[in-house]
Structure 1
Amino acid sequence: MDLSTNKQPNFDNTEVAFRQKTNAELKKAFWLFKMIGNNFLTKVGPAITNFFLNIGLPVQGAIKVTIFQQFCGGETISECDHTIDQLNKGRVGTILDYSVEGEDEESIFDDTCTEIISTILRADGDSKIPITVFKITGIGRFALLEKLDAKQNLSQDEKAEFEKVKLRCELICKTAFDKKVPVMIDAEETWIQNTIDELALEMMQKFNKERIIVYNTYQMYRKDKLADLKADHLIAKAAGFILGVKIVRGAYMEKERKRALENGYPSPIQPDKETTDKDYNAALRYCVDYVEEIAIVAGTHNEDSCRLLTYLLDEKKIIHNHTHVYFSQLLGMSDNLSFNLADADYNVAKYVPYGPIKSVMPYLFRRAQENTSVKGQTGRELGLIERELKRRAL
């Protein structure tokens, strides 16, 4: 392959990064990140907002045109159409993510399963939506998964309940298989993750024989996940299926460390960011070494990891848009990575969360807190937006 024609992404190119945003949208994003950068607002805001929502004050409209609009596609799949089209103009795909959390009723799990299947049907035949996603806790009770992970005996009712969870999971993955639309299973807390991992491997063994359909998620801030990834690859190779791997750093660090401390067991989380980064990049190297046997979605807002993956692909003479390699970021964040990677012909897809505002608020608060807790994230976003505003002489 002639690599001399390969374009390299320039992550400092703000013109490409914000090409899809109007001047008004760019100014709104600037002031929103300014607000998010205020730690007091980020800490106190969730409690105040929830209070206002619970007593029925009309704050939803204000939320919808600010933080919701920045990080979410809409309240329904059809409301996401504008975002899908805008991302596609920059050659970035959409991952529709129904972001309703914390439910506990069988009827709601059935409804959520139906909605997840709707995202697959919406993606069917539409290259603008190359991948879909779901959480096992969206279709099953957290406490039940916790019992299974702890190897506790289940009652007959609980056994029947888990069979329903497995049936929902299989129905989603079978629909994905039938429609040839890949689906990712998101990672969750360590004390339910073993059950999720077992389900994901079972689904991959059923549906990944011919092509990549099901991905599991590996959180590299966990000490054991690089080894798990390699072990799962051996299982996949022996059983004759493609291993689907979404690699992320992780989303539950504070909760994990707190629970480990309270329950007197060693923290499953890496001792520092450097060790997490080391394992994340080692996972990228391993997956690229076996790119025909492992399909990767590199979920990251880390510029160094994105750059490393581009170098690895060129080093191995792998085409930029290989079907087994995707980059992924969240809507509203790191546009300098997403759009510049897409501009250099890499496969890129953004998570586009959607759902009723009140139900999506926990997701939105996590995004706001993530921007303040990840070192330099808010400052980086603000700096890039500010540079583009100056470039446009606004």
Structure 2
Amino acid sequence: MPANQFVALDNGSTVFDAATSAAASTVAAPASTTASKPSALSVLPLSSVLRSLMTTTVSSSPLLLGPSMAIMTALAHSANPFLNPDRNILLRYLLKKTFYAQFCAGENEREVRQTIDGLKTIGFRGVILGYAKEVVLKDEEKKNLATFDGSARKEATASEIKAWAEGTLETVRLTAAGDFVALKFSGAGIQALHDLSEQLPPSPALADAIDRICQLAVERKVRLLFDAEQQAVQAGIDDWTMAYMRKYNTAQKAFIYGTYQGYLKATGAILSQHLRMAREGGFALGVKLVRGAYLGSDPRHLIHDTKEDTDRAYDGMTTGLLQREWTFPLVAETPNEAFPVVGLVVASHNAESVVHAQSLLASGACKTSDVAFGQLQGMADEISCKLVLDDKTCQAQPDNKVAPIQAYKYLVWGSTGECMKYLLRRAHENRDAVQRTKSSRDAMMAELVRRFKGVFSRA
């Protein structure tokens, strides 16, 4: 499989087709209004346009990306205090003003809230916020998950769970009603990884932590996205996700969402099974639909043979979930099988998939009312901002009957040092999707030129 056909994201967010980003400008909009509509990127502040142009220029250049990757790898893994952004004031300042500001929300409550408020002012419905800090496991611990003995490291396990719970609870507190919080169970440490790999229930301490997180989220009307992870632990994650959906989702509202990766051949069958479980259990199914996140580590035979197969599966699931119909690759067990209530996040940087979902919403054929679109902060802004602009245009029309477009940006928060591994993953993604970042770079350059000409035309 060519490297530029897929991009692996460790956070389970999405996998993009590098060749479709140029289609971002075609995101569904009435033909009669397209010519008169302003540039989608006009909603961004100039500082964001300049920063995006800088980062996409670096990431789309083989000459610049290689050295940048080497530097970021050193910063993310070095034990040298001089290379630690949290201890080197100058290094911290440089990173915070560039790559950190491009992808991350902030280091503290004030910065995070300022970033979120800025996105909502632009027109985004809200954010998908995650906590960047990760639990780093030793190689020996990773190798011995199957024989892990929790009693031998009880104190360390309790510390891992506590740190993960506190960070996730604070993330929920930083968001508002209608927002999402993304969480990774693996961040809770090696005990969690062991239990997931063996498809065991969470330990009592972890179960208590998850319940506290879920209860706070429901209380604040914040939705939780349980991220997908590697296949070694994904079956366990699915078990936990469905258990907490059953406990906290109501018949008409999803507060807990699972993540479904379209590039896996089995996803259609798994999602079909979960739809039936939700219907029979009387609760709404929360679905975050992504293309995939672990191309480099998941067994190749589990992944669709071609990119076209992945596209077909992703768009087919989107159609079925939006229209509440059993369309390929969703499979009904009986004719006229009922469909449960669904909450859906179309988490994609693939412009064609966004167009597909948005056109279904505009056509009136959609029977699912709780639908959101999500892209990573600092990436695919031409798609995200087009969604925002289309929504503003539609809602301004007096005879509009199209439901509001709920566009969200996914971003993480934490100290500069804590976010380095996250930033390194973003750099890896851009390395494997040069064509996509070239399209974003060109879009940012065109927007900068447009603004420059606008200044002189008004002079």
Do the two structures share a fold, i.e. TM-score over 0.5? yes
Alpha-carbon distance, 1:375 to partner: 5.4
Who is 1:298 aligned against?
Answer: 346
Q: Does 1:37 align with 2:30?
A: no
Alpha-carbon distance, 1:178 to partner: 2.3
Who is 2:356 aligned against?
Answer: 308
Alpha-carbon distance, 1:34 to partner: 1.3
Who is 2:165 aligned against?
Answer: 113
Structure 2 counterpart of 1:100, which letter? K
Q: 2:225 aligns with which of 154, 178, 184?
A: 184
Give 3-state SS (helix, strand or coil) of 1:218's partner. Answer: strand
Q: Does 1:236 align with 2:282?
A: no
Give 3-state SS (helix, strand or coil) of 2:82's partner. Answer: coil
Who is 1:133 aligned against?
Answer: 182
- Distance in 2 (alpha carbons) for counterparts of 1:113 and 1:179: 17
Superposition map of 1:248-259 within 5 A? 248-256=290-298
Q: Does 1:74 align with 2:106?
A: yes
Q: 1:101 aligns with which of 134, 153, 162?
A: 134
Who is 1:220 aligned against?
Answer: 262
- Distance in 2 (alpha carbons) for counterparts of 1:175 and 1:122: 12
Who is 1:278 aligned against?
Answer: 312
Q: Does 1:122 align with 2:181?
A: no
1:149-201 alpha-carbon deviations (Å, 9 max, x no partner)? 346xx8xxxx8x72222222222112212222211111111101111111110
1:186–1:14 distance in 2 versus 1, CA, 3 Å: farther
1:45–1:226 distance in 2 versus 1, CA, 3 Å: farther
Give 3-state SS (helix, strand or coil) of 1:388's partner. Answer: helix
Who is 2:123 aligned against?
Answer: 91
Superposition map of 1:11-30 within 5 A? 15-22=39-46, 24-30=47-53
Could you tell me whether the CA contact under 8 Å between 2:275 and 2:340 is conserved in 1?
no
Identity in percent: 27
Alpha-carbon distance, 1:51 to partner: 6.1
Q: 2:423 aligns with which of 340, 358, 364?
A: 364
1:68-87 alpha-carbon deviations (Å, 9 max, x no partner)? 11011111232112221221
Larger Cα-atom Rg:
2
Alpha-carbon distance, 1:27 to partner: 2.3
Could you tell me whether the CA contact under 8 Å between 2:165 and 2:213 is conserved in 1?
yes
- Distance in 2 (alpha carbons) for counterparts of 1:339 and 1:292: 31
Who is 1:339 aligned against?
Answer: 385
Alpha-carbon distance, 1:233 to partner: 0.2
1:301–1:14 distance in 2 versus 1, CA, 3 Å: farther
Give 3-state SS (helix, strand or coil) of 2:98's partner. Answer: helix
Structure 1 counterpart of 2:357, which letter? L
- Distance in 2 (alpha carbons) for counterparts of 1:352 and 1:68: 10
- Distance in 2 (alpha carbons) for counterparts of 1:206 and 1:112: 21
Structure 2 counterpart of 1:136, which letter? F
Superposition map of 1:347-386 within 5 A? 347-374=406-433, 376-386=435-445
Could you tell me whether the CA contact under 8 Å between 1:371 and 1:378 is conserved in 2?
yes
1:332–1:146 distance in 2 versus 1, CA, 3 Å: same
Superposition map of 1:201-220 within 5 A? 201-210=242-251, 211-220=253-262
Q: 1:269 aligns with which of 303, 312, 316?
A: 303
Structure 1 counterpart of 2:431, which letter? T
Structure 2 counterpart of 1:251, which letter? A
Could you tell me whether the CA contact under 8 Å between 1:187 and 1:219 is conserved in 2?
yes
- Distance in 1 (alpha carbons) for counterparts of 2:254 and 2:436: 32
Deviates more, 1:208-217 or 1:113-122: 113-122
- Distance in 1 (alpha carbons) for counterparts of 2:48 and 2:361: 34
Name structure 1 gaps, 5 residues minimum: 1-5, 261-265
Give 3-state SS (helix, strand or coil) of 1:344's partner. Answer: helix
How many matched pairs?
367
Who is 1:388 aligned against?
Answer: 447
1:279–1:146 distance in 2 versus 1, CA, 3 Å: farther
Could you tell me whether the CA contact under 8 Å between 1:189 and 1:252 is conserved in 2?
yes
Name structure 2 gaps, 5 residues minimum: 1-28, 138-155, 325-338, 392-404, 454-459
Q: 1:48 aligns with which of 57, 74, 77?
A: 74
